[in-house]
Structure 1
Amino acid sequence: MEESRELRKIIHIDMDAFFASVEQRDQPELRGRPIAVGGGAKRGVVAAASYEARTFGVRSAMSGVQARRLCPELVFVKPRFDRYREVSRQIRGIFLEYTDLVEPLSLDEAYLDVTANRKGMPSATLIAREIRRRILEETGLTASAGISVNKFIAKVASDFNKPNGQKTVPPEDVQEFLESLEIRKFHGVGKVTAEKMNALGIFTGADLRRQSEHFLTGHFGKSGHHYYRVVRGVHDSPVQPSRVPKSLGAERTFSENLSSEVFMVEKLTKIAEELSRRLRTRNRSGKTITLKIRYSDFSLQTRSRTLAEYIDSPERILAAARDLLYQQPLENSVRLLGISLSNLDTEKEKTESGEDSVSVQLKFEF
Structure 2
Amino acid sequence: MTCGDSDAPDVPRRIVHIDMDAFFASVEQRDNPDLRGKPVAVGGSRERGVVAAASYEARRFGVRSAMPSVTARRKCPELIFVPPRFDAYRAISREIRAIFAEYTPLIEPLSLDEAYLDVTENLQGIASATEVAQRIREEIRARTGLTASAGVSYNKFLAKLASDRNKPDGLFVITPRMGPAFVETLPVGRFHGIGPATAAKMNRLGIETGLDLRARTLPFLREHFGKAGGFYYWIARGIDRRPVQPDRIRKSIGSEDTFDTDLFAPGEAREALQPLIGKVWRHCEANGIRGRTVTLKVKYADFQQITRSHTLPAAYDSQGAVEAAVDALLAPLFPTPKGIRLLGVTLSSLAGERTGKGEPDPTPRQLVLPI
* TM-score tier (shorter): 0.7 to 0.9
Q: Alignment RMSD, CA only? A: 3.6
Structure 2, gaps ≥5 residues long: 1-5, 256-265, 268-280, 299-304, 316-321, 339-343, 356-371
Kindly indicate whether residue 75 of structure 2 is the aligned counterpart of residue 70 of structure 1: yes
**Residues 1:52 and 1:150: Cα distance change in structure 2 (over 3 Å):** same
**Residues 1:322 and 1:339: Cα distance change in structure 2 (over 3 Å):** farther
Confirm or deny: 8 A CA contact 1:24 1:30 kept in the other structure.
Answer: yes
Structure 1, gaps ≥5 residues long: 251-258, 261-273, 294-301, 332-336, 348-366
Question: In the comparison of the two structures, how many residue pairs are matched?
Answer: 302
**Residues 1:339 and 1:103: Cα distance change in structure 2 (over 3 Å):** closer
Instruction: Kindly report which structure 2 residues correspond to 1:83-232, keeping only aligned pairs within 5 A, or say none.
Output: 83-232=88-237
Aligned residue in 1 for 2:241: 236
Q: TM-score, normalised by structure 1?
A: 0.73
**Residues 1:110 and 1:319: Cα distance change in structure 2 (over 3 Å):** closer
Distance 1:167 1:238 in 2: 21
| 1:20-44 deviation line (CA, Å, top 9, x unaligned) | 0000000011100001001112122
Distance 1:285 1:79 in 2: 24
| 1:326-347 deviation line (CA, Å, top 9, x unaligned) | 133489xxxxx96623799xx9
Over the matched positions of the two proteins, sequence identity in percent amounts to 54
Confirm or deny: 8 A CA contact 2:291 2:349 kept in the other structure.
Answer: no
- The list of structure 1 runs, each at least 4 consecutive aligned residues, that deviate by more than 6 angstroms after superposition, is 281-286, 317-321
Distance 1:24 1:306 in 2: 40
Distance 1:13 1:115 in 2: 15
Distance 2:62 2:212 in 1: 30
Q: TM-score, normalised by structure 2?
A: 0.72
| 1:120-166 deviation line (CA, Å, top 9, x unaligned) | 00110110011111111111111111111111111111111111101
Distance 2:205 2:219 in 1: 14
| 1:196-254 deviation line (CA, Å, top 9, x unaligned) | 2122221111111110011111111222111012212332222121111030579xxxx
Q: State which drifts further: 137-146 or 217-226.
A: 217-226
| Higher relative contact order, chain-length normalized (CA < 8 Å, sep 6+) | 1
| 1:242-301 deviation line (CA, Å, top 9, x unaligned) | 111030579xxxxxxxx89xxxxxxxxxxxxx9xxx9xx999987xx52279xxxxxxxx
Q: Which has the larger radius of gyration?
A: 1
Distance 1:323 1:161 in 2: 44
Instruction: Kindly report which structure 2 residues correspond to 1:216-295, keeping only aligned pairs within 5 A, or say none.
Output: 216-248=221-253, 290-291=295-296
Distance 1:329 1:303 in 2: 15
Distance 1:320 1:204 in 2: 37
- TM-superposed deviation, 1:176: 1.3
- TM-superposed deviation, 1:4: 4.6
